[in-house]
Structure 1
Amino acid sequence: MPKILVLYTSLTGNTEEMAEYIAEGAQETGAEVVSKEAFDASPGEMLAYDGIVIGAYTWGDGELPDEFLDFYEGMAGLDLSGRKAAAFGSGDTSYPIYCAAVDLIEQKLRELGAEIVAEGLKVEYSPSAEEKEACRAFGRLAAKSVLA
């Protein structure tokens, strides 16, 4: 059975909520899903999963959150070749760069050899009812790419 990691960093709970719906969607496919906060994980753990879905909120003018930096920097040197991956996060359109953390995570996953299977999912603040379903669909898509 394919294993999928849904890893996230959340300050206000918005990105955590997205992670919960993404994990629900992935579980609907029959995949084994583990959901963790980044500060409870080590980057090397990603090697134990077939699929990796990482989420973070965007801080300030398009920066990764401080509590995610250690994990992000610790990813350097990992070989994620053969793994399917996707990124998600919450943000605020009032800032010049909307949800830049999602783009930074995608770029890092590509650099490490992972195959990006879905365009980054970006939500302003907390997901609406429609966006909750989009999160579930995102999780299903990520899981189905691993099952294929």
Structure 2
Amino acid sequence: MKKITMIYWSSGGNVEVLANAIAEGIKETGAELTIKHVSEAMVEDITSADAVAFGSPSMDNNRIEQHQMEPFINQFELLPNNNKETLLFGSYGWDEGSFMKDWEDKMKGYGFNVISTFAVNESPSSKELSQAKELGKELAMF
């Protein structure tokens, strides 16, 4: 059984809604899922998983959340990540989602195999929630 860890940061709730949809897809495959807010996450949650999903909204200067999520992510710069399958997801408002490309580049530089990214403008629509669920399935089956 594939072991997947999902770590996210959400303030307004949009990223949490996406996380729940992705989790639903993962669970439908029978994979084992650990889901945590980044404030409760530890490096071992990631290193012990077969695949990971990270979620964050775009914040100041088109970056992932800078007080908790970015410092957590930066811990992996010097750790072996063994090309671990990774899904990145989030939400944005005014910046057209450009933060996601920078985040993807960073994660690839840290040795993660980013198999998919998904960003929604503000609140996810029902169609976007269906897409998120499918991405969860894809991550679990990859």
- Whether these two folds match at TM > 0.5 is yes
User: Over the residues paired in the alignment, what is the CA RMSD in angstroms?
Assistant: 1.5
Normalising to structure 2: TM-score of the pair? Answer: 0.91
* Letter in structure 1 aligned against 2:75: G
* Letter in structure 1 aligned against 2:97: C
What residue in structure 2 maps to residue 115 of structure 1? 113
Does 2:88 correspond to 1:91?
no
State the SS of the aligned residue for 1:80.
coil
Asked if the contact 2:7/2:35 (under 8 Å) is kept, the reply is yes
Q: 1:131 aligns with which of 113, 128, 132?
A: 128
What residue in structure 1 maps to residue 13 of structure 2? 13
Unaligned runs of 5+ in 2: none
Asked if the contact 2:5/2:45 (under 8 Å) is kept, the reply is no
* Letter in structure 2 aligned against 1:99: G
Taking only the aligned residue pairs, the percentage that are identical comes to: 26
Normalising to structure 1: TM-score of the pair? Answer: 0.87
1:33-72 matches, cutoff 5 A:
33-66=33-66, 67-72=68-73
**More strand by percentage:** 2
Asked if the contact 2:5/2:34 (under 8 Å) is kept, the reply is yes
**Residues paired across the two proteins, number:** 141
* Letter in structure 2 aligned against 1:25: G
Shift of 1:43: 2.8
Q: Which runs of 4+ in 1 moved over 3 A?
A: none
Shift of 1:82: 4.0
Specify whether residues 43 and 107 from structure 1 end up closer, same or farther in structure 2 by C-alpha distance, changes over 3 A only. farther
